[in-house]
Amino acid sequence: MKELDFYFDVGSPTSYLAYRKLLQMQSKYNFNLIYIPILLGGIFKLTGNQSPAVIAAKGKYMELFDLPRFAKLYNVSFKSNPHFPVNTLTLMRGAIAAQEMTFLNKYLDCVFDALWVKQLNMGHPEILADELKKNEMEYSVVIKLAQSEQIKAKLIENTQQAVDRGIFGAPTFFIEGDMYFGQDRLHIIETLLMKDGKQTETFIKQSISTDSKLSPDLMNEL
């Protein structure tokens, strides 16, 4: 069974889109999805990278066109968050805590939707507590573990590991030893999960290099 490493931060709208798409892919293909929560701000600091939103024109393009376009393609709800960027340190420690307590998907469903559908400022503890309660998770239990030295160290370890693997942003994926950056690369990863996936990926690369268009039949598969 193929393994897919998924490095993400809930404060990244493209991580949200990737998460929703990956859940769809899990219903179609047999692979092991490995969630690796990281702190995107830490990645930026360690690599010298910065959010696309820092560049006004690029941020505007993503908000008005790119993100809604992919949300429609994936058939998922999406709304830009007026509080962006949100400090996700507590949220990402919470993700690791939820992972330790074996309800990571439940936590991510809640937090991702709160940020990118409900447009809430999840940097406020009272809002986070309210959303967790609504989704049958005990805020005090999650936060108590999230504030432990073990969880703090794990987030630092995950983030450093990401940088050591060449990651400079989120979401980033690894499959069969290869790195893919951005949720807009998931269609390539999907071909690797299909039967004869490597042959399909080769065909995609050849198609792009020859006429920059994919065949209609192949597009129906992506």
**pLDDT tens-digit readout, 50-77:** 999 899 999 999 999 999 999 999 999 9
Q: How much is the pLDDT for 195?
A: 63
pLDDT averaged over consecutive 10-residue blocks of the chain (222 residues)? 97 98 96 98 97 94 97 98 97 98 98 98 97 96 97 98 98 97 97 67 48 41 38
Q: How much is the pLDDT for 37?
A: 98
Nearest-10 crossing angle of helices 13-26, 104-116? 130
Q: How much is the pLDDT for 211?
A: 43
User: What global pTM score does this model have?
Assistant: 0.87
Q: How much is the pLDDT for 214?
A: 42
Burial of 109 (0-12, 13-18, 19+ CB in 10 A): middle
Domains of the chain and any CATH numbers: 2-196 (3.40.30.10)
Q: How much is the pLDDT for 147?
A: 97
Contacts of 189 (CB under 8 A, 6+ apart): 4, 25, 173, 175, 180
Q: How much is the pLDDT for 140?
A: 95
Q: How much is the pLDDT for 215?
A: 42
